[in-house]
Amino acid sequence: MKKRNNISGLVILFLLACTLSCNEDFLLEKPLSSLSPENTFIDAGGLQTALDASIKGLFNQWNGDTREMMFNSNMSEATVYGGTDKPDAPTVDMKTYATPINSRDNDAGRMLSVYREGYYQIKNANTVIDYIDIPVWVGGDNDPERNHLLGSAYFMRALWYMQLTMGFGNVAFPLNVVSEATQDFKAFHMQGIWDQMITDLEYAVQHMKKKSQLPIGQPPVDAAKVLLAKYYMLNTKFAEAEALMDQVINDGESRLFTDADVPNGATVLVGGNQNPYNGEVIPGFDCEQPADAINYLHMALGSQRAKNPEGIWTIVNAPFIDGKQGRAQRVRAWGPNLYSTNKGVKAPPTGTATGIDIRQSSVTKQMMKWGRGQGFTRPTNYSQYEIWNFKGKWDTQDYRHKRGNWFDMDMAIYDHPDLKKNDATKEFYHEPVRLYHEGTLLCEDSIRCYYGYPIYKFWAINEDGELRRQDGGETDMYIIREAEAYLVRAEARVWQEKWQGATDDINVIRQRANAIDMYSTSDVQSEGIGAVLDERNRELYGEEYRHDELVRMSVIFAKTGKSYKGKTYSISGTDIEESLSSKSFFYDRVIEKNNFFRDEIAWTTYATTKYTLDPKHIFWPVYEPYLVGNVGAKLNQTTGYDGSQDNIEPLLHVVQPAGKPNFDPQDAIGDRK
């Protein structure tokens, strides 16, 4: 009997164990340390975090080597890529290396990340738009908080689509967060994309908050107005663009920063005077310069830039706050490389001895003073010389080109300790750097290692991480500021041939900068858009997506039939991308002003590498692996690149109303069965 009891006990135990472990709740997994859309995007605070992700995506384009922003400049007439140790750079010998299979995704070329990150950030903006009505809004569809968030998401999305269409032409056009494995995207005509963005931005400028109502870092309504003005101009609605800029200039939210705002007797550090390791004074140029409207405006000290009234939309970053954002590294990206490669700055008399102490350590003085530039962005002769030679005068009175604010190579000195050991070189120790000595070239790789640039807006001491990496610390940066609003209005007026107004707008900027000469109305009339572009280059060097501006203007030239230096452009058929890929203002302007591409200048480091450009390079290739996952449909390659021969006709978008979540554009036009 006892055994039978044992057995029945056993069976009960077995069954008990069974029921315990078969309990459904037992296998229910609850996320513990990570959030999900369902528990996060349910109120304004949650949606704000998705908007912030998209905003941070833009900050990333400026931080750390000035990534996509710098790349964009190197694809214009203002600068070229100068990292002369990467001969496969898709930004240099473009005819050979700007291909859909070039995997370069760094300083040498950012075609990949512009495309990839663009769509990632569109997803984040779409998150806000898709989830906008998940929270219960007190005011329903008229709730100002709702509409500000929705408008801000529209603004961010429009910003990314501007970059994608200016970079790649006709592209895929998701307007929702994809929730299943969609693999049948097709490209849309960019015109339809712009039309949707204009509708969205018109909503945004009605509902977004003003700068004074927002923390710095958040895009205010004036930022949306600047972007909408550019979109309007794409559709040749110049008067509307001008009116928007009138609002931005007159609404009192931001204003130009002028000499009157500069505190009396103030000074500005345009470089480092002290070795950050030990505070000892570094010999050579005194970087503490008298303050003026320009160097003070751009001074990276404390929160000066965040507080400056000129900022419309500003990237916020500061040393020692959590270290999340990383360094701006603006000097690294934009400054000449004084310190490395064996074709760099060599000492007189023969140009064989290394001129500057290149050790990466606490003893390296000139690096501490001028920052550890890598020469990734090399100004063209146009940026370095031509624009400063105004009306026959070499303008060093202009604050933007004043010695000190502008770095010239002879502000650096030879400080390599070995120079003192040698009879021939010791007299040059601590002498200013020069390019020639009695006819002998002292710096072979002058593309990367020898040029001047406006250091005032790039230099920021690095207090974080490794001190020996003085390549530009964490700092605030202007994305859009009042000066650009004037220049956008000047452009809108030029297209309308309002020469006087355009001249006034340009001269406001020149006056603030203390330029010697102003433009006359006839100057602007004869130079047309060139005057605007020149002034943009003087004012916004290193602050604008220069390539995108040139492409945008190329569309306008083609749509309006206006002429540039006797050349006119047009759109044949419906495909803007195809038309511009064979002939464009962009190509003509770059070849005109960019001596590197025009003259196909070769490197000294890799003698077979030279700068080359074809008309098709107005738009960039899409990295092939990004397209091949789209197995359900043909997603077009950019015109002219390998793979584009199989392109299909892009889709025509039907504009959807703003104010509520979108339908998938492909579904909306019945493209997916």
Partner 1 sequence: MRMKKKTSQSFLFNGRVMLMSKLILVGIFLISQLGAFAQTKQVSGNVTETGGQPLPGVTVIIKGTVTGTITDVDGNFSIPGVQENAILVFSFVGMRTIEMPVANQTVFNVTMETDAIGLDEVVAIGYGTARKKDLTGSVVNVSAEDLENYQPANVQELLRSAVPGLQVGYSTSAKNTPEFFVRGDNTIKSDRDNDGDTEEEREANRPLVVLDGVIFNGDIAEINVNDIESVDVLKDASAASIYGSRASNGVIVFTTKKGKLGKPVVRASAKLGMVTGAKRIQTFKAGDEVMGWLTDMNEAINGLYTNPWTKYEKFDNVPSEFRSDWLDANGIPGETDPAKITTAWLDNFSFETNEKENYLAGKGYDWQDFLFHTGKREDYDISVSGRTERVSYYWSLGYINSESVQMNESYASLTSRLNLDVKVADWLNMGINSNFTFQDEGDEPIGSNYRTASPYDTPWENEAWDNPDVEDTGKYPWRFPREYLKQAGAGSNRGNPYLNPAYITRLYTRYRIFPTMYAKLTLPYGFTFTSNMTTRLDFRKRFYYEDSANPAWSHGGFARREHDEGFEWQSDNILNWNKEFGEHRFDVTGLVNAEKNQMWYTRAQGSSYSPTEALGYHGLAFALVPQVSSSDEVITRNALMGRINYAYGNRYNLSASFRRDGYSRFGVDNVYATFPSVSAAWTITNEGFMADHPAWLEFLKLRASWGVNGNSSGLGAYAAYATLSNNRYLNYDGGYFVAPYLYIDRMANPALAWEKNQAYNFALDYGFWQGRLRGSLDVYSSRTTDLLLDKRLPIVTGFSSITTNVGELKNIGFDLSVNTINVQTSDFVWTSQFNVSYNKNEIVSLTGELVDVVDENGNVTRKEPDDLSNGWFIGENKDVIWEFETEGVYQVGEEDEAAEFGLYPGDFRYIDQNGDGVINIDDKVFQGLSKNPWYMTFRNDVEYKGFDFGVILLAKLGYKGSSIEPFNNRQEYIKNHNWYNIPYWTPQNARNDAARINSINLGGISTPMWLPRSYVRIQNLALGYNLPESILEPIKVSRARVAFNIDNVAVFTKWIYGDPESMEEMPRTYSFSVDFSF
- Say whether residue 629 binds partner 1 (CB under 8 A): yes
Nearer to partner 1, 100 or 452 (CB): 100
- Say whether residue 178 binds partner 1 (CB under 8 A): yes
Q: How far is the CB of 28 from partner 1 (least distance, A)?
A: 7
CA dist 435 and 450 (Å) reads 8
Among positions 607, 657, 670, 673, the unique one binding partner 1 when judged by CB under 8 A:
607
- Say whether residue 260 binds partner 1 (CB under 8 A): no
Among positions 520, 599, 632, 654, the unique one binding partner 1 when judged by CB under 8 A:
632
- Binding residues for partner 1, rule CB under 8 A, total 128
Q: How far is the CB of 527 from partner 1 (least distance, A)?
A: 38
Considering only 335-343, 428-436, 563-571, 654-662, which stretch makes contact with partner 1 by CB under 8 A? Answer: 335-343
**Strand, coil or helix: 476:** coil
- Say whether residue 673 binds partner 1 (CB under 8 A): no
The token duo for 13 is 């135990």
Nearer to partner 1, 411 or 461 (CB): 461
Nearest in space to 487 (alpha carbons), one of 523, 525, 539, 528: 539
The conformation of residue 108, written as its DSSP 8-state character, comes to T
**Helix 144-168, helix 546-560: angle, nearest 10:** 80
- Say whether residue 351 binds partner 1 (CB under 8 A): yes
Nearer to partner 1, 400 or 653 (CB): 653
Q: For residue 36, count CB atoms less than 10 angstroms from its CB and return exposed for 0-12, middle for 13-18, buried for 19 or more.
A: exposed
Peptide bond into 135 cis (omega under 30): no
- Say whether residue 301 binds partner 1 (CB under 8 A): no
CA dist 243 and 586 (Å) reads 27
Among positions 240, 398, 476, 491, the unique one binding partner 1 when judged by CB under 8 A:
476
Contact 584/615 with Cβ under 8 angstroms?
yes
> Any residues with CB less than 8 A from the CB of 670 and at least 6 apart, and which?
none
**Strand, coil or helix: 25:** helix
Among positions 228, 627, 651, 658, the unique one binding partner 1 when judged by CB under 8 A:
627
Considering only 233-241, 292-300, 519-527, 628-636, which stretch makes contact with partner 1 by CB under 8 A? Answer: 628-636
The token duo for 292 is 């003026």
Q: Which of residues 205-244 bind partner 1 (CB under 8 A)?
A: 215-218
- Say whether residue 441 binds partner 1 (CB under 8 A): no
CA dist 489 and 296 (Å) reads 25
Q: How far is the CB of 522 from partner 1 (least distance, A)?
A: 44
Q: Which of residues 276-295 bind partner 1 (CB under 8 A)?
A: 276-277
- Say whether residue 190 binds partner 1 (CB under 8 A): no
What burial letters (b/e) apply to 263-302, b meaning 16+ CB within 10 Å? eeeeebbbbbbebbeeeeebebbebebebbbbbbbbbbee
Nearer to partner 1, 351 or 452 (CB): 351
Q: Rounded to a whole number, what is the distance in angstroms from the first to the last CA of the chain?
A: 73
If one counts every other C-beta atom within 10 angstroms of the C-beta of residue 235, the result is 16
What burial letters (b/e) apply to 369-394, b meaning 16+ CB within 10 Å? bbbbbbbbbbbbebbbeebbebeeee
- Say whether residue 325 binds partner 1 (CB under 8 A): yes
- Say whether residue 264 binds partner 1 (CB under 8 A): no
Q: How far is the CB of 164 from partner 1 (least distance, A)?
A: 9
Among positions 66, 127, 377, 384, the unique one binding partner 1 when judged by CB under 8 A:
127
- DSSP codes, 287-349: -EEE--HHHHHT--STTHHHH-TTEEEEE---TTSTT-S----HHHHHS---S-STTS-B-TT
Considering only 82-90, 394-402, 406-414, 657-665, which stretch makes contact with partner 1 by CB under 8 A? Answer: 82-90
Considering only 38-46, 220-228, 403-411, 426-434, which stretch makes contact with partner 1 by CB under 8 A? Answer: 38-46
- Say whether residue 120 binds partner 1 (CB under 8 A): yes
- Taking CB atoms within 8 Å and a gap of at least 24, the contacts of 569-578 are 574/189, 574/191, 575/170, 575/189, 575/639, 575/650, 576/169, 576/170, 576/189, 576/190, 576/191, 577/169, 577/170, 577/190, 577/619, 577/638, 577/639, 578/639
Tell me the sheet residues that pair with 393.
Answer: 390
If one counts every other C-beta atom within 10 angstroms of the C-beta of residue 79, the result is 28
- Say whether residue 3 binds partner 1 (CB under 8 A): yes
**Strand, coil or helix: 551:** helix
Q: How far is the CB of 23 from partner 1 (least distance, A)?
A: 9
Q: Which of residues 482-541 bind partner 1 (CB under 8 A)?
A: none
Interaction mask 51-70, partner 1, x per CB under 8 A: -xxxxx--x-----------
- Say whether residue 14 binds partner 1 (CB under 8 A): yes
Interaction mask 563-602, partner 1, x per CB under 8 A: ----------------------------------------
Q: Which of residues 371-390 bind partner 1 (CB under 8 A)?
A: none
Q: Which of residues 90-119 bind partner 1 (CB under 8 A)?
A: 96, 99-104, 115-116, 119
Nearer to partner 1, 423 or 670 (CB): 423
> Any residues with CB less than 8 A from the CB of 443 and at least 6 apart, and which?
343, 344, 345, 346, 351, 435, 449, 450
Nearer to partner 1, 403 or 634 (CB): 634
Q: Say how many CA atoms lie within 13 Å of 277 toward its Cβ.
A: 15
Among positions 75, 172, 312, 328, the unique one binding partner 1 when judged by CB under 8 A:
172
Among positions 359, 391, 426, 567, the unique one binding partner 1 when judged by CB under 8 A:
359
- Say whether residue 431 binds partner 1 (CB under 8 A): no
Considering only 175-183, 200-208, 479-487, 496-504, which stretch makes contact with partner 1 by CB under 8 A? Answer: 175-183
The token duo for 627 is 């397209």
